[in-house]
């Protein structure tokens, strides 16, 4: 059966005596191929470079402000120290560090450099210096345990570690040379990035021939639903995403805007946006080492911040707590949300509390170099609450029925597949996982359940693997979490599957109560039951002090599933 034949007869109606074609042309959907195309264009002034011998660092540096303006134009501001780094100083630091890594530490093309550090004003310099000599960046979460870091070191084949001094104790037993990010007083045996930048000559930065097809980075996915895997991203992937980010900034912001960064740069969201992308637009970024709500509010006031790329827990924190904290958000014009789904309910509550602030959700994965969809205007975002926007330029997508493999038209739910120049090369030394995620035509199977609206706006329902199978029905945890968060006595919530002999699985909620709240399990169950179909009801509730989440704000459901099993076993 063709795609056209699969539409119901109600999709084609008579209007004024003429046959009306389905409105799918407005969605970018091609019924002949089943492919959705981006409704946005980069324009003549922005083109993704096609030159083969081009690396990420060279591309970024070529986008810096003109030398006449580079000394006065501020690239980064350290919130803690107020240290300011101009674009000219950043350029010199990158070249000096590249010289030190190559000539001093003998790092060569193809060598993997593991970086273990929270956000620091040095982080972009470290990443771009590594890229410029053809080495491979592998950033790690600094809160990872010793064994988790050891696993990444072994799996990535790291030849050098760059570590914050406070993380050194977790790394000394791996036999890999270590360079500290900052110098330690009275320690003559250690080498630091600061010292390499100070003592090495930028003019001696090596000229290494690097191809766009070469591996630039190996990022390890958060592993929220399984074992983390090394995502291989090429220089072509990063150059494509930086061009797209530059386009999105030009479409929504001014070069005089000030951005605030608390998204960790070891995550693709933080790395692509703050470690690379914003430099291509000449933007000034205020940098926070770690997120703190009050510190964020203070930073907005002090530095007159206009833009905050954020994650859902931050949006939730603003909605639940900002009215109780001292803050002046008058300079704030735009908040973006990514890395995890943002519910329609939370979006609407945010708009009620902060009506002058634009809120736009986006969608991407580590495997797509953080890109996929985007809102070009606040009017679009308001008209489509709960959506994560339209496909960005150069992207195509499919919605695939995971039982029949058929590509689906608008308003039909299925697995989201993506294709673009930002899609990963594969998983490091994991052919089985790569084959399961990338098909032979280069389509990335995201594992996300979603659908396109008739106007081309994408809605993500949930992760397919996280859907709860209850008596043959599929229940999306994200839908129930969105409802729970509307309760005035609920600060945070997560829903997981709990095994059940009769139903297969039942929805179980973990709830963080507001201080002094006397909310009971039965009250939570009834609150949700009054708003959903019977099969979606929450059937078990456990109160918890905090919902475990990744650095990007994704709920770590596997931790809660393990916790629920321990609870069940303890009662047996």
**Residue 422 domain-assigned (yes or no):** no
**Residue 485 domain-assigned (yes or no):** yes
pLDDT at 10: 30
113 contacts 125 by C-beta, under 8 angstroms: no
Looking at residue 500, which CATH number applies to its domain?
3.30.300.30
- Contacts for 487 with CB less than 8 Å, ≥ 6 apart: 519, 524, 527
Mark 299-321 as b/e (b = at least 16 C-beta within 10 Å): bbeebebbbbbbbbbbbbbbbbe
CA distance 346 to 319: 8
**Residue 480 domain-assigned (yes or no):** yes
Domain count, the chain: 1
CA distance 263 to 528: 32
CA distance 246 to 236: 15
Task: Classify residue 40 as exposed, middle or buried by CB count within 10 Å of its CB (0-12, 13-18, 19+).
Answer: buried
**Residue 509 domain-assigned (yes or no):** yes
Task: List phi, psi (to 5°) of 544.
Answer: -140, 155
**Residue 478 domain-assigned (yes or no):** yes
pLDDT at 444: 97
**Residue 477 domain-assigned (yes or no):** yes
pLDDT at 571: 56
Query: Helix 312-321 and helix 293-303: axis angle, to 10°?
Result: 90
- Structural domain of residue 518, as residue ranges? 467-570
CA distance 165 to 157: 22
Q: For the chain of 572 residues, list the mean pLDDT of each consecutive stretch of 10.
A: 32 35 72 93 82 96 91 95 96 97 96 97 97 97 88 95 94 90 80 94 93 97 64 97 88 82 92 91 93 90 93 85 77 87 84 91 92 90 91 96 92 96 95 93 94 94 81 78 90 88 84 89 92 86 89 79 71 50
Sign of CA dihedral 432, 436, 437, 441: positive
DSSP H helical ranges for 193-264: 193-199, 235-252
**Residue 201 domain-assigned (yes or no):** no
371 contacts 239 by C-beta, under 8 angstroms: no
pLDDT at 479: 83
How, if at all, do strands 35-37 and 29-30 pair?
antiparallel
pLDDT at 227: 63
**Residue 503 domain-assigned (yes or no):** yes
Taking phi first (over 0 means left), then psi (-120 to 50 degrees means alpha), and beta for anything else, what does residue 553 get? left
pLDDT at 6: 32
């Amino acid at each position: 059966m063709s795609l056209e034949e699969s539409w119901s007869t109600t999709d084609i109606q008579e209007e004024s005596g003429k046959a009306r074609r389905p409105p799918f042309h407005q969605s970018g959907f091609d019924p002949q191929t089943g492919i959705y195309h981006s409704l946005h264009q980069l324009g003549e002034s922005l083109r993704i470079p096609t030159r083969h011998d081009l690396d990420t660092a060279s591309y970024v540096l070529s986008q810096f402000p003109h030398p006449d303006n580079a000394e006065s134009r501020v690239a980064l501001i350290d919130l803690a120290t107020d240290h300011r780094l101009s674009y000219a100083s950043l350029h010199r630091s990158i070249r000096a560090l590249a010289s030190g890594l190559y000539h001093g530490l003998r790092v060569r093309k193809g060598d993997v450099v593991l970086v273990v550090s929270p956000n620091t004003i040095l982080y972009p310099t470290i990443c771009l210096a590594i890229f410029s000599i053809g080495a491979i960046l592998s950033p790690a979460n600094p809160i990872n345990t010793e064994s988790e870091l050891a696993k990444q070191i072994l799996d990535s084949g790291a030849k050098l570690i760059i570590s914050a001094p406070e993380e050194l104790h977790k790394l000394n037993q791996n036999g890999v040379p270590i360079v500290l990010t900052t110098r330690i007083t009275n320690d003559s045996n250690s080498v630091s990035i600061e010292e390499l930048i100070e003592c090495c000559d930028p003019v001696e930065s090596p000229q290494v021939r690097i191809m766009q097809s070469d591996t630039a980075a190996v990022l390890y996915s958060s592993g929220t639903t399984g074992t983390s895997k090394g995502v291989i991203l090429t220089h072509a992937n990063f150059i494509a995403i930086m061009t797209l980010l530059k386009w999105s900034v030009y479409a929504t912001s001014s070069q005089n805007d000030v951005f605030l960064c608390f998204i960790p740069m070891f995550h693709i969201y933080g790395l692509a946006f703050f470690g690379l992308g914003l430099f291509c637009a000449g933007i000034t970024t205020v940098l926070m080492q770690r997120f703190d709500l009050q510190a964020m509010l203070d930073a907005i006031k002090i530095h007159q911040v206009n833009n905050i790329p954020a994650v859902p827990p931050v949006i939730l924190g603003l909605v639940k707590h900002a009215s109780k904290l001292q803050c002046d958000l008058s300079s704030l014009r735009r908040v973006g949300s990514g890395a995890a789904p943002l519910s329609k309910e939370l979006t609407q509550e945010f708009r009620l509390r902060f009506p002058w602030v634009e809120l736009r959700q986006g969608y991407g994965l580590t495997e797509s170099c953080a890109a996929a969809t985007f809102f070009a205007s606040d009017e679009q975002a308001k008209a489509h609450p709960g959506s994560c926007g339209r496909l960005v330029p150069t992207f195509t997508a499919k919605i695939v029925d995971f039982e029949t493999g058929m590509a689906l038209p608008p308003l039909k739910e299925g697995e989201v597949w993506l294709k673009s120049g930002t899609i990963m090369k594969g998983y490091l030394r994991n052919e089985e996982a790569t084959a399961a995620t990338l098909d032979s035509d280069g389509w990335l199977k995201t594992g996300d359940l979603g659908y396109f609206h008739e106007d081309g706006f994408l809605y993500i329902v949930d992760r397919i693997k996280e859907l709860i199978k209850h008596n043959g029905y599929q229940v999306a945890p994200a839908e129930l979490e969105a409802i729970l968060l509307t309760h005035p006595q609920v600060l945070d919530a997560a829903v997981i599957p709990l095994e059940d002999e009769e139903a297969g699985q039942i929805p179980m909620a973990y709830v963080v109560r507001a201080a002094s709240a006397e909310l009971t399990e039965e009250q939570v169950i009834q609150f949700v039951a009054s708003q959903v179909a019977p099969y979606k009801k929450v059937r078990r509730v456990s109160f918890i002090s905090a919902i475990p989440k990744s650095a990007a704000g994704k709920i770590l459901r596997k931790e809660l599933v393990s916790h629920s099993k321990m609870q069940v076993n303890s009662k047996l």
